[in-house]
Each structure stands twice: as structure tokens, then as C-alpha cells.
Structure 1
Amino acid sequence: MLYPQNIEQKLGFDRLRDWLSEACISPLGRRFVEKIRFSDNFTLVDKLVRQTAEMKQILQYGEDFPSQNYLDVTPYLQRAAIEGMLLTQAEFFDLKVSLSTIRQCLVFFGKQEPEAFPLLGEYAQSIRVERSVTDAIDRVIDDRGQVRDNASPELAQIRRRLIAERADIRKKLDSLLRTAKNSGWIGDDVSLTIRNGRMVIPIAAEHKRKLKGFIHDESATGQTVYLEPTEVLEANNEIRELEYEERREINRILVLLTDQLRPYLPDLQRAYQFLGLMDFLRAKAKLAVQMEALNPQFVNRPSVDWREARHPILHLSFQKQGKKVVPLSIELSQKQRILIISGPNAGGKSVALKTVGLIQYMYQCGLLVPMRDDSTMGFFQNIFIDIGDEQSLENDLSTYSSHLTNMRQFLARANKRSLFLIDEFGTGTEPGLGGAIAEAILEDLTQSGAYGVINTHYTNLKVLADKTDGLINGAMRFDGEHLEPLYQLEIGKPGSSFAFEIAYKIGLPKGVIERAKSKLGTQQVNFEKLLKELDIERKVFAEKNLDLGIKERKLAQQLAEYTALKTSLDNNEKRILNEAKQKAKTLLSETNQRIESTIREIRESQANKETTRELRAGLEKFNQQNLKPVLVEEVPVPEVDFEPEEGAIEVGSYVRIKGQTAIGEVLALKGKDAEIRIGELKSNVKLNRLEKVSKKTYKLATGEKKTRAGTAGVDINERMLNFSFNLDIRGKRGEEALSVLDQFMDNAVMLGYDELRVIHGKGDGILRTLVRNHLRSYPQVGTLQDEHADRGGAGVTLVKMR
């Protein structure tokens, strides 16, 4: 249930309805716009919103979806249902192009996977447009909307005769025209023309008697007459008769074509209902794209859990002005059902209230909503609002009486599945009495279990919210130092009206303000003062928390980098030790074998001292060759000549840390900090510790030509830039193809790609088998499968990595 009846005008939804109507291409879509209604059926709302979300996805990524010729031909179909009636050429042309649009829509959904667009795809499957209908129209109506010459043998013969007669009469008239020009009866720039469907010669009025014929018309000045010479009178009559025959034959063809259409009218009516829905959904999706709206999680219970919601109309208006709306984050739950918003005038309370009402209303009308994707939309069966001045002279209602009338409706109808919105609660009468009545009404609304948002300046309502379960205070933030509204909602504490501060800023005499404070009483003044001080303290602590959070993130990042570096060093140490142990083991084994061999030779040959000495010398030489330490030559590291570069540091700049040789690239700027990458490490550094260097310096310092070990470096960025996940090896021999495939897989593994495409063609399947068998030898490869039939089928292998 909705209250009041003009709720759409109160919330501003009527302006969104007008926007949608203008965005529709045809009356078919506009009729759907007129039927938009708030729904209290959860399943229906979920379906409508998901349909819109699917169409938004189509608009953003579906290039093949048609965007024109959404024509409304339903009146033609209604007339075609009557026996003996015919549709005109123009009407059949509209039918032809709009049926083409319908078929394009159906083909689009037919190409998609069922899970891509489940709702619209399922609906499209129920629509039938018989090929015989479109073929019959195409055989008769051409692409210019005219009946084709070959629509019937009779029509083809009539048109051939017409062409011949017109050519013959033109020859005769051209001859007469030349004679008239040579005789000076007409000017040299005069040419043949048509009057009353007959070919005539324009001739000066004073010479009209010099040519025999029939005058059909004269110019506005009377100086020129349009004369049909006697020589072509019969030929023109013949042409007119042939034109009548042509018209009769065309009518006969169109009657037959209309008769062919008649049995399929029910299917065509449903098809054009589908076309109208597509036009309507396109309009809703366009609105969603412009508002940056989406479909958040939708739950079948009363709830408001929104992150960065934006007032739709304000967002569209600000967008044209190049400004941004301050987003609203709000949460209403079972424990905090009713939010009491307070704060200064012109601080954004009413906008926040209308944002809640309009977004909830438009969502339950099937539209996407502008908010962050981690938000949650609840479901309400009733929405009640009390916004604006409802003073009525006819019904003898004052502003306050109208508010009380609305409150009576709220109290009578509010339940656990209701959402109510009240702007300036309790105003319009004596403040003390208005506040008391408002407090009593609020107590009853709280007991009803309803959800709501209330704007107020009354202190007693703020106090009630602080001590009552189900109520929660909220404040529109205000810069107490500069006395400017921030338009941000803060839930959990009441807001101050900042009346005295605003009075000071406006320039009200100080004495007047001081007397006002004394008349108000110390309790209220202290309350307002406390709220102001709390707001200033909250701002100070928020800044400190932000600074602390930045430091904690930096510490966590540096700790992670340290841990990663330590792990890497430990692993390298273990690897080097393992390699050294393995080499020592091998060397020891060879040494033992050599010693045993030497001893065996001495024993077997019973060698003399000289032979023994030679064998021992050989063993000593072996030990010196294999156990002598290898001197490691230090490779001098070339000094880098740092070339500074003028200009401010920005994303993509090359920089070095002052006093150090490390050079990196700027990835992002965050206030006074910069995120830079040095090699594989990332770090945040203060901007004042960095200096900008040239690209040449960066290349020299990072060893683009040679690494310190003298081997060629690997430029990951360049590989990533030049790498394509598509590999085409069609036409290559087996050995050549496998070589290219190995290089492709090495780059893919290094760059971390999840899915690859190898195009090998179908042929006899030999190359495909060879490629797939080779790919299975890679441990990083997960699955291999054929590409979709529309994109290559068995001629392409999809490689999904582990």
C-alpha cells in the first residue's frame, strides 16, 4: 500500500518516468512505461529487476543487439485481422523492418549460453516469428518500401510497358522541346515536367498558341503555362491507364499478402509485445548506465543496508553540471528500525529522507538503483510519506492539521513490513505541544514494528531515540569551525541545529544572540554546546585514526615485504647448501675411487719407489685440480649518471630515492605519499624523498641491456605488453608448431594467464592431436577442450591452466 496518492510526485519518481518515456524508441515501450507500478510481490520485483540487470549487461557488452526499428505496428495487425482488408506498402515496410529487429533479438539470445541471460533468454524462446511470413513480405516489398517488379508476372509486364511508353513519350517531348527552344518560345534552361500525372512542356504564355495541345496548369505569375502537346495526348492516356492497372495489381498483391499474414496474427501480437518489452528494458538499462545503478542483493524482509547510495535525480542533475553527489550510507535493522535525523537547516536532512524513499520505490518498480554493490535491498509492502506542506484551503486544513491527518493514517496502517518517512516531524504548531504529540506518535510507531526515517529539530525526540530500543539517532554532519554543511549522514549520535553559530555567521547582533541564550536556559544551551564539542572532537579523532590506519598499513606492507625477502633468502641459502653438499658428495666419491684405484695399482704391480712416487704425484695433481678454491671475479658495476628530469612527479614517472641508487616507477599517488615499484618490490615513500629521473637513467640503472652477471635481462612488462593469449599455428609443420607452442607456453606460465586459445585448424586433425598431446605434458595445464562452435569449434583448443 502507498500513501498518499501523489507519492510519485512527492518523491520525484514522475521525473524518472518522463525520462524513461523519452528514452523509449516506440509507443510500444512507452506503454510499458505508463504501466510501471510499485509492487508488493517479492517474486515479481526480483524478476523485473533481474530483467533490467540483464538488459544493462547486454547494452554494455552485446554489440549485436539491435538499436533501431522498434516500430509499433499493432494497429496494422488489428486491421489485418478483418477479412478483405489490406495493408499498404508503407505499412508492410514498417512490418518488414520491425520483424527484422525482432528476429535479430531472437538470434542474439539464441547465440548465448542459457545461464548468460536466463530470464530474457527464456522469454525469447517462447516467441515465434515464422520464416514463411518474413519471406513472403521480402518477396513483395523491397528495401525501399516499394512493391518489387517480380511480385507477380502481371506487375512485371505492366511496368515493362510503362517504361517503354514513358521512354517513347519522352523522345517525342524532347523533340518538341528542342523545336520550342530553337523557335525562342521557351528559355534554354527549361526542361520537361509533370502536371496531374502527365508529362508536359513549360512554355511562355505569349507562345501557347504556337503549339497545339492541352494546358494543364500555369505558374503563380501566369507567365508560364504547362502544355501537353497533341502528339503525346494518346501516349499520356495510355500511361495513365497503365498506372491504374499497376495500382490495381499492387492492391491485389497486397490483399493476398495480407491474407497470408492473417493466420499468424496471434504469434505476431506476442512478438510485438516482446519487442515493446525490449524497448522498455533498453530505456531502463540506459537510465541505469547513466546513473551507474546496479542490482544489489535483494532479501525478502524489511531492511535498509545501503552503501554510498545516491539520490537518482540529484545524481542526473549534478552529472550535467560536472559535479558529484555526496553519497548516503544508511542501515535500518530489526534492532534499529527508526532513524531520527537531526542537524542544521539546509544540511541535507530532506535529501537523505527522499533518497531513502525514492530508491526503495524505484527498486520495487523494477529499476536498478545507484549504490555500491555490497549493499542489500530489503522488501516492504507499504510505503507512507509525510513530506512538504499539504495546506488546503478547500478542506480547511492548516499545515499542522494535514500533518496530523497523515499521522492518523500512519498509526492505523503501519506494521512490520511498512516503511514511513516523515519530514520536519512535529512542526507547524507551538513547539512544546508539537514536541509532546510527536513523541507520543513516535512511541506508537515504534511499537508497531515499522521501519522509518524522521527528520526533526526537537531535542525530546533525540533523547527518546537515545534511550528507546528500535530507535537510533543520526546527524547530518556540519563543519562547526567553518559553519558549512558536509551533507554526510552519521548514525549513532544526534546532531545540533547550530542555530546560534549560524546566527553569528549571518551577522545577527551579538547582544541579541546572548539574550536568546539566556532566555533558552542553561540546559538546552549546554546540550547544543556539548553536541558541537563532540562533533569537533570526532573530527580530530577521525583524522588521527586515519593517520594511524595509514601507518598500520605501511607497517603491514613492510612486514610482508620483509617476510617475503627473508623467506626468499632462506630458500636460496638452503638451495645453495644442497647444491654444495651434492657437489661435495660427488667429488668425495670420485676422490675415493681415485685413491682406491691408485692403491690397487701399487699392490697389483708391486711397484718400486719410483712408480709409487709417480702414482702419488698423479693423485696429488688430481686433488689440486678438483679441490682448489675457484676465485670469483668481481664484475664492476658501472656507475649510473643520474639525469634529473623537470616537472611534477606523477603516475608513470621514473624516480629515485634521494641519496640512494635504487630507481623505480611510480604506480600511484596517495596524498603526500607515492607507491613505487623497485624491481619486484613495492613500497610507499614520501614524495619529498623522491626526485624525478629520465627514462634513459631508469633503463641504465635497471640493467635493461645487461644484468650484473653479464647476461641478458628479462623485461616482464614488455613481454606482458606484447603477449597475446591467442596463438595461431595454422599452416605450420609439426616440429615448427611445437617450437612456437613451447615459447608461447613459457610466456603464458611466466605471466600467469588462466586461459589460452591455440588455433590449429580442423583439417585431418593431425596437428590438433599433436598439439594436445604436447600440451598434456605441461604440469601447469588443467583441461583442454574445443572452442564454442560459433568461434571455431574443433579448430581451436581452449587451454585452462591450473
Structure 2
Amino acid sequence: MNNKALNVLEFDKIKAEIGKFLITSRGHALLKKLMPMSVESIVQRLIDQTKDGMDIVRLKGEIPVRKLADLNDQANRLKKDGNLNGTELAAIGQVLKNTSELKEFFEGLHDDAIDLRQLYDLNDDLIDNPSLTTRINKSLDESGRVLNAASPDLKYIREHIERLNDQIRHAMEQFTRGKNTKYLTESIVTLRDDRFVVPVKTEYRAKFGGVVHDQSASGQTLYIEPQAVVGLNNQLHDDQTSEKLEEIRILNELSDLVRPEIDDIVKNNDVLAQFDLINAKAKYAKEIKGTEPLISKERVVDLKDAKHPLIDPKRVVANDIKIGDDYQTMLITGPNTGGKTITMKTLGLIQAMAQAGLFIPAHEESEVAVFDEIFVDIGDEQSIEQNLSTFSSHMDNIINIIHKVSQNSLVLIDELGAGTDPQEGASIAIAILEKLAKSNCMIMATTHYPELKIFAYNTKDTINASMEFDDKSLKPTYRLLIGIPGASNAFNIAGRLGMDRDVVERGESLMSGESQDLNNMITDLENRRKEFEKKNQELDTQLAKNKEIQDDYEKKQVALANSKDSEIQAAKVRANQIVAKAKGKSDKIIDHLREMERKGVAVKEDQLISAKTELKNLHQDETVKKNRVLRRNKRKQALKVGDEVKAIPYGQIGTIVRKNRNDEYEVQLGILKMKFKSDDLEKVQSSKDNDEPKPTMVRRTKSTGLSSKLDLRGKRYEEAMTELDSYIDEALLAGYNQVTIVHGFGTGVIRKGVTKYLQGNPRVKSFGYAPASSGGSGATIVDL
């Protein structure tokens, strides 16, 4: 894309803002090369990278890139068999370390199932070298200083140097303390030529012996190395020389290790620079509250609430800008300083940003096209040296655009046809627009000529637009109005500023009828637009109220559903409590019977039936309890002593002989007395109501609701035994003489349990396996 357009659109200022977030040298080099791309796949890849960067900034703060130097000099020296110093090797170590860190970082993102479009693949381009990374980090600190851990010899030498320093300092203390201080100009130990010395007054030169290394400018002080420490200083000097030689050996060894890997390390540095740039693009997008631009497949630009990124966010006015769908050319008219040029630059700059892979300062779902070129003719490019007038300069630029434009180009022209006679300027402007339109490019142009407003109105694929102007405040609002040409405000403004009325009226009378009609049409359109906006605002207000009512209704509906769920949950809790209580009572009854059986006490039939009744009474029939009609009918049939009733659990007729305090009734069933709740009793017609008195009796009849066969297959042991016990009782009361218990083969646990139970039940006369044709040992026939 041509640099001239990018310079006019101030794309470099956008890059400068991004540069504030860069930390690597290579990152700055990549930023300088950042340009809008004209291939859709490349543009989409760059946008995807920024989207990934935004997601990481949002979730993790940033991509962890270190401050890294450019490695080209190091690479060139190594390839020429040269060796590197500590600082240069430390820079390489930082690249290797950052490579390992990023590998681990993206592995963590992958483990967290964070979806990324491009950066996982970019991370795969990094080549990790753990052994070399460890060796350099162990040998050098970040400044390039060789560490003791670099080699055992270096560690030994430095420890010996430290001991010698301690010995020398201790030996020198005798010269800076006590009576010897009177021979010194100052009681300190200092260094001269890397040797420890003391400042001695010149007249006491022979007092300490040793070597004179320096003297003061006045000659009054000599810096003497006392004879007592000369030997120690010589040893220290030898060790320091050994230390330097060992450091050089280590650096040379590290250089040899890095040499064969330098190409991969340089590539890593380039990939890390890409991460740095992506990081910076994401942080800049966050700063401007940018959104992801969507690439239009139909080559449409549809920017929603677009803002110029270089204008103060508190002052900038957002505009909807759309071009390329129903129209290819937009002509913007309106007063000077109304925002026409800024609107045009906003379109061009946002389009350039999107094609460079940047997020844009517009509302989400904004669409951009991919242009091969953006041509710009904005501003006065008059050149004294070239002797070009304003008009000539613009024409020269537009001629160049006409020769290079294609159907994939965006053309932005400010003040088309300006700088010459108005009539001629309008004519040449129309001709230029017609010529450019033949290439099917997209065009946005600004003008003051009324002829172009008519041209836009009558020409296919061309639309008028204007910048709104407030007649009351005499100030532009900077809002773009698509579909409405801008009206001339000269007379209106002049009158409001105090121009004599007769001057204004004379000026209006001199206007041609066509121009006057055009202004009247524009004024009418503007009034209709304002009326439409007012009604639209009222509708939006009403819609907001309706939305609020709907939200309130939905909240109440959710609250009601939650309340219902809470009630159901509470009912379940209460039901579980009742079940738990009933289970406890049943367990006590069963334990009591088992205790009697264990002690060898015979359990009588009435005891068994009584226990069974107690177990039956633990059951709550929810359907009966909750059915209001049945409860109402029951209340009509009030029970009292002497009533004949039907015991519902057993289907037998008896007589109430007593009512207990706990709302239980004792019923005489033949020779048995049993207790029942009122819900388990149903009042029947008394025999006393008949003409002939009949003796009260209980007749054993077969219940039509009880099968003569009990199937225990698939049951758990405890469940099967409880069901068997209940079934035998019901079979006895139903008058059955023989029943069949089907227990299957299985593991034999249920079969053994059935056998044990039948052996202990005194109401069982005999039992045995069924014939082979009726189930064999999988079923037991019981005689009661």
C-alpha cells in the first residue's frame, strides 16, 4: 500500500502508540515494517493473532515476553568463529530462557482449554533447548557476569581470593589503628594499581617499608604498600589473573556450545518478537477499546459507531459509516469545519488498521473490506518549488489515482474540484467521479458544489451524505447523515450573527431558482429526518419500558419457579424425615420379633398380625391423603364404637370396639382384635339395619386382588424377606391354603432365606420345591 496515503492518514502515529507497549529490539524492528496487507488470508491471520493476544491479555494479563536484544551481531561473530563476551552470551541466554517460559505458558493455556486461533501454531515454531538453556543460566547472571557455578576451578579460585582479601584487610588494620595512625594523612586502606595501600605522610616514608605506588598532587602523601602485605598482594594478583583466564575459558566454551545452535536461537528471537508485537497490538486495542473487524465477503465497509483513534476519546464523535452495498460512491457536503475531512480520514485510517491486523475503534460486528490500495487526495499540497497551484496539485494527484485505480481500491478525495472557477470545478468534479466509477472502486469525496448534490441524487450507485449542523447554536455536531445532502447555511449563519436583514434578503434573491429549490428540498429533508429521529427516540423509549416490564415479568417468573422448586425440595426433605422415622419404627418391630425368635419364644399368630398391622400403619397413602374429595367423603362417614367397618389393608369386615386417645380404633376381626388408623377403615352398612338380625362374623374369602404366586426374583435379600413376610400374612387373611414363592436359582441366597423363613413360621403347614414342569428348585410351594 502506498506510503503517501498512509502518511496523510497518519498511520505512523498509530504505530507510535503501539510502540509504547513493545519491550524487545526485534519487536520495534517488526513494528517499523508493519503495513496494511492486501491479501485476505494474510489480513485474517493477522487479525486472528491480535484476537488471541486480546484473549490472553484479558485472561492472563499479557504474553510473558522478556526484554530481549537483537542477536544479529552475535550470530555474525559466531559464524566467523569468533567468541562472545559475557553480556552477549547472557542476551542469548535470555532468549533461550524466554523460549522455555513461553513453551510452558502455552502448555498451561492448552491444559486450561483456552481456545486460540493462531498462537498455538506460532508457539510451535519456537525450538526449545533445555540443556543449553540450563548451562548458560547456571554459568552467567542476566548482566553477563560469570557465576561461581560455572566451573569447580572458578569456584575454588574465588574462594581463595576471598580468603586472601580477609587476610590482607586484617594485616592492614595494624597500620590504620593505634599509634601508627599518626604516620598517616588519613586512617584508610585504598587501592592503587590493584594493590592495597595506605596514605603515608612523606616524612615517614621509611616507617612501613614496602613499595610506593603513587603520591598526591601536593607531594605530601605517598601511597605505600607495606612490606608486611606485599606477599599477600602478590598471591592475590596471581589468583585474580587465574580468575580472568578461567572466565575467558568458560566464555569460549559457552560460545562453542552456542555456535551450532545460533540459527535456531535467532529464529526463536524473531518468533518472540512477533509475540511482543502481538502483545503490544492487544494492549493498544484494549486502550482504545477496539473490537475485532470482520472481513466482508461482499466487499462492504460497515463501521458502527466508528471513532477516529487519534482524537481525544472524550471529544470524538462516533459515526456510522457504510459504503459498498447499495452504493459505491458517497458525496459528503456540509459547512467548513463540520467534520467532513475527519470522517473521511476515519474511514481510511480504520480500514488501514484492519488490514494491518489491528483492532478498530468501532462497535462490535463492524465490517471492513480488503483493498489492494487506498488512494488519498486530502489537504493543500501546493509546492512553491514545483510552481504548482492548489488546483494543479490536486489534479496531478487525481490523474495519478485514475491511472492506478482498480475495482479493489478505496479512493478518498477532499474538496473535489476546488481551487478553480466554481462552474468549471463542478463540471470537472463530475467528470472525475464518472471516470473513477467505471473502475468499480469505492469512492468517498467531499464538496461544496450544489451541482454534485444533484449528480449524486440522479446517479446510480451514488449517494449524498452530509455533516449535521445545528442552526440554533451555529455549531457543527460532527454527525454523518447518509442519504441527505448538506444545506447551505451561509444566509442563516450571517443573519444570526447580526448581518443586516436587507443584505441577507438581497443575497437570497440573487440565488438561482434551481439552487433555491435545492436548498428548500434539503431543508425539507432535514426537517423530516429530525421528525423521524424524534419519533424513533419515542419508540426506543417505549421499547425500553416494554423491555423493562418484560424483564420484570421474567424475573418474577423465575422467582416463582425457584419458589416452587424450593417448596418441592422442602417437601422432599419432610418426606425423607417421615420415611426415616417410619423405617426406625419398622426396624424396632422387626428387631423385637427376631429377639423373641432368638430366645426360642413362640410367636403367636395374633402377634404376627399385630406387628404386620403396625408396619402397614407406617405407610402413608399420599393419593388418599391429598385427594380432597375422598377426605370430604370420609368426614361424612364419622366412625364410632359399634360401627361395622372394612379394614382396607386386609379387605375384611369387623366391628369397632374401642377408640384410643391417639385416634386409633380397635376392630374385632373374628377372633382377632387389631388397631387401625381412621384412614384405613371404611364404614359399611350395619347388619342392624336389616329386617332380620344376623350374627356378626368374619368370613375368610379369597381376595381377588392377591395373587397366589409371589415373585422375588431380582430383589435384594432384606427387601425379599420383608415382602415374603407381608405376603404370607395377606395370604392367610385371604383364606389361601396354598401359595407359590418364585425365588429363582441365582446365587441361592434368596432361596435359602425363603426356606429359613418358612421353617420358622408356625402358620406354614409344609413346603417343598415345585415340580420340574413348574419351575423345579426355582420355586417353592407352601401349604398354609
User: What TM-score, normalized by structure 1, do the two folds share?
Assistant: 0.68
Query: Structure 1 pair 250/557, CA: closer, same or farther in 2 (3 Å)?
Result: closer
Q: Which amino acid aligns with 1:163?
A: E
Partner of 1:590: 634
Structure 2 equivalent of residue 249 of structure 1: 246
Which residue identity does 1:30 align to in structure 2?
H
The 3-state SS of whatever aligns with 2:328 is strand
1:153 match: 152
Note the 1:235-246 alignment, pairs <5 A. 235-246=232-243
Q: Name the aligned partner's letter for residue 405 of structure 1.
A: D
Match 2:34 to one of 36, 41, 48: 36
Q: Distance in 2 between matches of 1:50 and 1:340?
A: 34
Structure 1 CA distance for aligned equivalents of residues 636 and 230 of structure 2: 128
Q: Which of residues 263, 267, 276 is equivalent to 1:266?
A: 263
Is 1:406 aligned to residue 397 of structure 2? yes
Aligned-pair CA distance for 1:361: 1.1
Q: Deviations over 1:416-452 (max 9, x none)?
A: 2111001111101000000011011112222321112
The farther-off stretch of 102-111 and 512-521 is 512-521
Structure-to-structure mapping, 1:79-118, within 5 angstroms: 79-83=77-81, 85-113=82-110, 116-118=115-117
Length, aligned pairs only: 598
2:225 partner SS: strand
Cα distance in 2 between the residues matched to 1:91 and 1:302: 50
CA change 1:571–1:246 in 2 (3 A) is: closer
Amino acid at match of 1:396: N
Deviating more after overlay: 41-50 vs 262-271:
262-271
Pairwise CA distance, 1:537: 4.7
Separation (CA, whole Å) in 1 of partners of 2:184 and 2:213:
18
Query: Counterpart of 1:18?
Result: 16
User: Deviations 1:54-103 (Å, cap 9, x if unpaired)?
Assistant: 112222221474253333334223322332x3222222223323322222
Aligned counterpart, 2:618: none
SS at match of 2:438: helix
Deviates more, 1:158-167 or 1:204-213: 204-213
Matches within 5 A, 1:640-679: none
Q: Which letter does structure 1 place at the counterpart of 2:45? A: K
Aligned equivalent of 2:365, options 363, 371, 374: 374
Q: Give the distance between the partners of 2:22 and 2:555, measured in 1 at CA.
A: 57
- The one-letter code of the counterpart of 1:146 is R
- Stretch deviating more after TM superposition (99-108 or 516-525): 516-525
Contact between 2:185 and 2:200, CA under 8 Å: does it hold in 1?
Answer: yes
Q: Residue 390 of structure 1 aligns to a residue in which SS? A: coil
Pick aligned residue for 1:487 from 469, 475, 478: 478
Residues 221 and 338 (structure 1), Cα distance of their counterparts in 2 relative to 1, 3 Å cut: farther
- CA 1:173/1:552 → structure 2, altered by over 3 Å: closer, same or farther? closer
2:60 aligned residue (51, 58, 62): 62
Asked whether the equivalents of residues 303 and 379 of structure 1 are also in contact (C-alpha less than 8 Å), the reply is: no
Query: Match for 1:185: what amino acid?
Result: L
| CA spacing shift, 1:569–1:235, aligned 2, 3 Å | closer
Q: Which amino acid aligns with 1:12?
A: E
Show the counterpart of 1:139: 138
What does 1:118-517 correspond to in 2, within 5 Å? Answer: 118-142=117-141, 145-178=144-177, 181-183=180-182, 185-187=184-186, 190-204=187-201, 207-208=204-205, 210-219=207-216, 224-314=221-311, 318-319=312-313, 323-517=314-508
Asked if structure 2 preserves the Cα contact closer than 8 Å seen for 1:300 and 1:379, the reply is no
C-alpha change, 1:219 and 1:586, in structure 2 (3 Å) is farther
Q: Which residue of 1 aligns with 2:732?
A: none
SS in structure 2 of the partner of residue 313 of structure 1: coil
Query: Once the 2 structures are TM-superposed, how far is the Cα of residue 251 of structure 1 from its aligned partner?
Result: 0.7
- Give the match for residue 72 of structure 1: 70
Q: Distance in 2 between matches of 1:567 and 1:423?
A: 57
Distance verdict in 2 for CA 1:563–1:24, change over 3 Å: closer
Deviations 1:152-208 (A, max 9, x none): 333233223322322222222211222565425334xx3212222111113345655
Task: Report the 3-state secondary structure (helix = DSSP H, G, I; strand = E; otherwise coil) of the residue aligned with 2:184.
Answer: coil
Q: Judging changes above 3 Å, is the alpha-carbon distance between structure 1 residues 549 and 56 closer, same or farther for their aligned structure 2 residues?
A: closer
Partners of 1:138 and 1:90 in 2: CA distance = 12
Contact 1:299–1:377 (8 Å) recurs in 2? yes
Flag the 1:116–1:226 CA change in 2: closer, same or farther, 3 A: farther
Cα 1:596–1:486 shift into 2, 3 Å: same
In structure 1, what is the Cα distance between the partners aligned to 2:463 and 2:28? 42
Shift of 1:568: 11
Identity %: 31
CA drift of 1:454 comes to 0.8
Q: Provide the secondary structure at the position in 2 that maps to 1:24.
A: coil
The separation in 2 between residues aligned to 1:572 and 1:288, in whole angstroms, is: 45
Does the CA-based 8 Å contact 2:136-2:254 persist in structure 1?
yes
Q: Is the 8 A contact 2:643 2:655 kept in 1?
A: no
Q: Secondary structure, in 3 states, of the residue corresponding to 1:43?
A: helix
The residue type paired with residue 21 of structure 2 is: A
Mark the CA change 1:236 to 1:399 in structure 2 (over 3 Å): closer, same or farther: same
Distance in 2 (alpha carbons) for counterparts of 1:556 and 1:260: 70
Shift of 1:143: 6.0
Moved more, 506-515 or 351-360: 506-515
Contact 1:332–1:338 (8 Å) recurs in 2: yes
Q: Is the contact made by 1:298 and 1:376 (CA closer than 8 Å) also made in structure 2?
A: yes
Q: Report the residue type matching 2:134 in the other structure.
A: D
C-alpha distance in 1 between matches for 2:71 and 2:549: 68
Shift of 1:287: 1.5
Superposed counterparts of 1:629-640, under 5 Å: none
Give the 5 Å matches for 1:539-554.
539-554=530-545
Point out the more displaced range, 465-474 or 108-117. 108-117
Q: 1:372 to 1:579 in 2, by over 3 A?
A: farther
Cα 1:563/1:229, change in 2 over 3 Å: closer
- 1:646-693 deviations in whole A, cap 9, x for unaligned? xxxxxxxxxxxxxxxxxxxxxxxxxxxxxxxxxxxxxxxxxxxxxxxx
**Structure 1 residue 584, shift from structure 2 partner:** 2.3
- CA shift, 1:519, in A, is 2.7
Q: In the TM superposition, what is the alpha-carbon distance from 1:520 to its structure 2 partner?
A: 2.6
Secondary structure at the counterpart of residue 45 of structure 1: helix
CA contact (8 A) 1:42 1:300 kept: no
CA distance in 1, matches of 2:298, 2:181: 93
Query: Partners in 2 of 1:447 and 1:13 — Cα distance?
Result: 29
Q: Is the 8 A contact 1:473 1:491 kept in 2?
A: yes
Letter in 1 for 2:317: V
Report how far residue 552 of structure 1 moved: 4.5
Superposed displacement of residue 355, structure 1: 0.4
**Code of the aligned partner of 1:71:** A
CA deviation vs aligned residue, 1:96-122 (integer Å, no higher than 9, x gap): 233222221221112222762231111
- Aligned residues of 2:417 and 2:428 also touching (Cα < 8 A): yes
Q: Secondary structure of the residue that 2:364 maps to in structure 1?
A: coil
Q: Which has the larger radius of gyration?
A: 2
SS for the counterpart of 2:310 is: helix
| Deviation for aligned residue 1:605 | 11
Amino acid at match of 1:252: R
Farther-moved stretch of structure 1 (547-556 vs 483-492): 547-556
Deviation at 1:140, TM superposition (A): 1.8
Q: What is the CA-CA distance between 1:292 and the residue it aligns to?
A: 1.1
Question: How far off its partner does 1:541 sit?
Answer: 4.1
